[in-house]
Amino acid sequence: MKGREKMPDKLVIVESPSKAKTIKKYLGTDFEVIASQGHIIDLPASKLGVDVENNFKPEYKTMKGKAKIVKEIKDKAKGKSKVYLATDPDREGEAIAWHIKNVLDIKDTDECRIAFNEITKSAVKKAVESPRKVDNNLVDAQQARRILDRIVGYKLSPLLWKKIKRGLSAGRVQSVALKLIMDREKEIRNFKSEEYWLLSAKLSKKSEKVIAKFYGDINGKTDLVNEKQINDIIKVIDGKEYKIVDIKKSERKKNPPPPFTTSSMQQEASRKLGFSVKKTMMVAQKLYENGFITYMRTDSTRLSEDAKKMAKSYIIDSYGNNYYLNRVFKAKENAQDAHEAIRPSRLDVDVSSFSPDEQKLYTLIKNRFLASQMSVAVYDTTKIIIQVENYIFNLTGSIIKFDGFMKLYIEGKDDGGKQSEESENILPEFNIGDVLKQEELMPEQKFTEPPYRYTEATLVKVMEEKAIGRPSTYAPTISTILDRTYIEKDKKFLVPTKLGEIVNDMLEEYFKNIVDVAFTADMENKLDMIAENKESYVHMLTEFYSPFITHLEEIENKIERVKIPEEETDIKCELCGKNMVIKQGRFGKFLACPGYPDCKNAKPIVQECDVPCPKCGGKVLIKKTKSKRNFYVCENNTNTEDSKCDFISWNKPNKDGTVDEHKKITRRKSTTKKTTKKVTKKNSTKSKTTKKK
């Protein structure tokens, strides 16, 4: 019909609505773009859903709530000359594309699959111009992982329900992650602190003062282990002549870190921004879907030539030629190099429309990417060797000669959660033969400390190093063991609970392979081999299943039921006087009377903040929403009209009385007035009867 708008002739299917919206901007009117909203087909939730007797054939079903989306996909595909499956460029994305292909009865030979590492106009159009077949090897690898996880979860979890308590779970990756945390906890418990000493000397030459560190004697380094040793040395050197016997000068170079992988991004976002790994991935997902960064699930440090050109132009324009250096980073062992490192899709982005979290993460990714293509930082280092009697003291200093990449970026460190800082220590001009005057000797007693507990960042680092899981699994793994209350957070450190310890002990004793790091890493390697068509997924599953199920059947009757001890507190029950115990409920921990059911007293655990209310000076209480998000409220905020204070915030108050907040919490105030609706008993009964009918 004349004047009628032409209907789109081609259909593009992606996972998310925001991704669909971004891609639609880059394609013409011939294209319609819709979202599957993730997986549409999966194993059934109510049963194993795997025919183990028939080559582990999966029994796929349309997921609950997805029937409407499946119908929409079918309806939209009708009459289209071409359907493109543009799901994410990884195994999960390939599996989603495969399921959609089967729903639409697209032939295996049809080139319907397009993939792109970044959602930019050029990348999307290039992908549309060169579609390919769905990669069945990647699909097989995803299926193998899904079936493997389903077997472990559905066969082992019921045992935990039976022997410990309902609602527990075991998993091929999550149980290993729990073991890592538990192993570190055992290291801490078994750690025996040892005494050691440090000795510093405050020395001077005219008006110049420096602090030198004890090294040893003329024969080499000496460890200081007790006070007697220190006192013996002080007796010899106190007030004697400190002579400079050697000065060593050298140039030190420091290279920038590579661009982000999923793991390194999660670690650095934790160190520098305080983000959980889950939050990091959620924010990164938004940035990717809106076309601002490349795909955020990768373990590759590779950069495309176009990306390097983009970085080169920006660095030279912003800092000058001497700050640019073309770099190629060596891939890590076992790294999958299917697509690039995480980087900005472009650098001319106006971040003012971003949320504060998106701004922070985008800037971090951008600076890391640019720094990876910048020059080395150069230091002039000086080491001065000072002799007093037969003992040696060292004096070291370094000056940044050229800041290079450090002009833009300094990498964080994990040392107890402390941030890395490069600082200059400028030394006075000294010469060999100079004699320094002793101002003060400063002995200091120290004790060795146990290793730090894992943070989310350091756990991800270890999981990556030991090849446990893949970039896509780090965040959900940690979320799962937190949700199961196997671990809890103490500030930012991960601490195993009593329940987590019991579960780990049982799995470690009876299912060594499931929690064995090497075994799990080998399974990940076999999944990679399936993706590369070097291994049959049926063979891999058969090899795992037979000994696993035989062992499970053998020991099921041997394991005794474990009682979880209750954690007693010194808080007295107001009703019966017994010491209340800590219990785990749906929304976290709470206090309960051990006299239940005779005494049903229960109340929340109230945590207090270490800073006063910025408005009235009262105590600030830490509370949780139903989704377990912390918020901060003054004890005097009763949420009523006569409340003495109205302070409530998502963010913890600072010590100076300020609050970093971009979004305020609003609570509906309850009133002291109560309105009652009069309903006669007769009418009430009548109403109930009507409803029944």
Cite the active site residues: 295
User: Look-up: residue for tokens 């960064």?
Assistant: 293
* Those residues with Cβ within 8 angstroms of residue 147's Cβ, 6 or more apart along the chain or in another chain: 43, 50, 56, 58, 541
Q: Are 484 and 169 in contact (CB under 8 A)?
A: yes
Three-state SS at 244? strand
Q: Are 582 and 488 in contact (CB under 8 A)?
A: no
β strands within 497-618, DSSP E: 567-572, 579-585, 588-592, 602-604, 607-608
* Phi, psi values for residue 198, rounded to 5°: -120, 150
Q: Which residues pair with 374 in a beta bridge?
A: 324
Strand 377-388 and strand 195-205: pairing? unpaired
Q: Rounded CA gap, 150 and 307, in Å? A: 40
Q: How far from 135 is each of 73, 79, 113, 132, CA to CA, in Å?
A: 21, 25, 9, 8
- Rounded to 5°, the CA angle 632-638-643 comes to 115
| CB-based burial label for 145 (10 Å; 0-12, 13-18, 19+) | buried
Residue 622: what residue type? Answer: I
β strands within 63-126, DSSP E: 82-85
Other C-beta atoms closer than 10 Å to the C-beta of 15 total 22
User: Look-up: residue for tokens 């302070």?
Assistant: 647
User: Look-up: residue for tokens 């769905």?
Assistant: 134
Q: Rounded CA gap, 551 and 574, in Å? A: 50
User: Look-up: residue for tokens 């949780």?
Assistant: 624
| CB-based burial label for 12 (10 Å; 0-12, 13-18, 19+) | buried
Could you tell me the end-to-end alpha-carbon distance of the chain, in angstroms, rounded to an integer? 54
Torsion (CA) 285, 288, 294, 296 in degrees, nearest 10: 0
Q: Rounded CA gap, 294 and 24, in Å? A: 18
* Phi, psi values for residue 145, rounded to 5°: -60, -45
